[in-house]
Amino acid sequence: MPQDDFLIRKFGAISLYQIGRKNLSELSQFVFKMYSYHYFKKYQWLPDDRELEHMIHGDINQFEDSVYFGFRNSKQELLGTIKATKRTNNIVFPIEYEFNISIEQIIEKESLEVNEIWHLGRLAIDSNALRLQNSSFTSRQMLHILLIHSLGVINYNPNSLMIAESDVLIYQIFQDLGINMQIVGELRDCLGSPTYPVILTSDNMKKWLEKNFLEKEERQKFFI
């Protein structure tokens, strides 16, 4: 697993990295800052510093089982992030303890063949900072590339199930992008935002990735 950031690809003035262990706290703080900004703006949510500490602690503890991606500008400031985490015996995800959902029951109910379970999270994009860069990139394009890479990691081995807690706006954006996430529980507030518990099956991931191609050799660069 990388200690330092690992450069994946340059997109003009901005670059995509796999974030290393040394910069996990920076990533957690960036995501917390973006959540605080957007959710206060939309829902008047006032953040609690304990949430930040919980995020930092979680990212550090899950590092060995996760792949973190981040876009940086020429000053090495984060502009967008996402995280994919493989479920192990030591990891419990928010969909389980916040929504009281049994992933095993979902798998049985949907008659899914599942070899690995992955969680998608830490999705955040600083749209205001992105507009200030010397780049033609839009937030939607950045999201698209982050999803190609993170879902490519999750779907690298057959029969992987993605789970997530999706803000209602993000859920709609994913649908617009053709990512057919399935709602598996009731809407509830999570970090100040109305949120759905969702899954994305291996078949749906594979179909989407086939339309949004990522070279297998490029996926193999990632460390996990």
Phi and psi, residue 116, nearest 5°: -135, 145
Mean pLDDT of 81-106: 93
pLDDT tier for residue 43 given thresholds of 50, 70 and 90: low
- The whole-number pLDDT of residue 41 equals 57
pLDDT digits (tens, 9 = 90+) for 73-91: 999 999 999 999 999 988 8
**Residue 63's closest CA among 1, 155, 156?**
1
Question: What letter represents residue 11's amino acid?
Answer: F
- The whole-number pLDDT of residue 215 equals 52
- Judged by average pLDDT, the poorest of 29-33, 108-112, 173-177, 189-193 is 189-193
Question: What letter represents residue 224's amino acid?
Answer: I
pLDDT tier for residue 221 given thresholds of 50, 70 and 90: low
Mean pLDDT of 178-204: 91
Residue 102 confidence (pLDDT) above 80: yes
* Integer Cα distance of 193 and 64 in angstroms: 29
**Residue 124's closest CA among 35, 16, 49, 213?**
35
Residue 206 confidence (pLDDT) above 90: yes
Burial 58-76, CB ≥16 within 10 A → b, else e: bbeebbebbbbbbbbbeee
Cβ-based burial of 134 (10 A; exposed 0-12, middle 13-18, buried ≥19): exposed
Residue 217 confidence (pLDDT) above 50: no
User: Dihedral of CA 195/156/160/51: which sign?
Assistant: negative
What's the chain's average pLDDT?
A: 89
What secondary structure letter does DSSP report for 64? G
pLDDT digits (tens, 9 = 90+) for 150-174: 999 999 999 999 999 998 989 999 9
What secondary structure letter does DSSP report for 46? P
- The whole-number pLDDT of residue 75 equals 95
Secondary structure percentages of the chain, helix, strand, coil, to 5: 40, 25, 30
Asked whether the whole model's pTM tops 0.85, one would answer yes
Could you tell me which residue, 222 or 56, shows the higher pLDDT? 56
Mean pLDDT of 185-205: 90
pLDDT digits (tens, 9 = 90+) for 108-157: 999 999 999 999 999 999 999 999 997 888 999 999 999 999 999 999 99
Residue 205 confidence (pLDDT) above 90: yes
